[in-house]
Amino acid sequence: MCGPDVYDYTEVVTYDDGTTDTIDHYKPDCWDEPRTRQVPNMVDQPVYETWYTYMQWEWVFIRSAVATGSNYDPYWPTDYRIDDTHRESGREMSFSVYFDELDGDGNFTYHPNSLDELKTFNINSMWQITHSGGIVTEIERIER
């Protein structure tokens, strides 16, 4: 709490021409005032609230089973086993055809959409391809 300001000291300023100014300084008059209040008696009483716990199980990736080949008989890999604590998460099949240029300067990869489309590309057959940035955009078979 603070009351009205009280006198602290007087400052006298003297200038070169001999005149003076008197400045009175005051400081605030403050003091601590203890305050109290009445608090009701607290009773130790349990509060019951619904509480839920749960576990969330999540399948995580462990490994891929991959099979590769260079013929027209694709198969699913069988050299892995799944036990009771694991599951198969799905199967994906993709095909790739690799084209080499006649002069041997470059090669390109094309991904057919189906096994039937893959079977149209005979080994050592010749194809005219159009590409953009290394991606095959058009394919036309060249008959020998």
Q: CB of 76 within 8 A of CB of 67? A: yes
Residue 86: its pLDDT value, please? Answer: 78
- Please state, in angstroms and as integers, the Cα–Cα distance from residue 51 to each residue in 13, 20, 45, 48, following that order: 75, 79, 18, 9
Residue 82: its pLDDT value, please? Answer: 77
Domain boundaries along the sequence of the chain: 97-142
- Fill in the amino acid letter for 1: M
Q: Which of 94, 99, 95 is nearest to 130 (CA)?
A: 99
Residue 26: its pLDDT value, please? Answer: 87
Question: At 101, is the pLDDT very low, low, confident or very high (cuts 50, 70, 90)?
Answer: confident
- Please state, in angstroms and as integers, the Cα–Cα distance from residue 125 to each residue in 79, 102, 110, 121, 128, following that order: 33, 12, 14, 7, 10
Percent of the chain with pLDDT over 90: 2
pLDDT per residue over 4-26, tens digit each? Answer: 888 888 888 888 888 888 888 88
Question: At 100, is the pLDDT very low, low, confident or very high (cuts 50, 70, 90)?
Answer: confident
pLDDT per residue over 69-92, tens digit each? Answer: 888 888 888 777 777 877 777 788
User: What's the number of CA atoms in the CB half-sphere (13 Å) around residue 44?
Assistant: 0
The overall pTM is greater than 0.75: no
Residue 104: its pLDDT value, please? Answer: 73
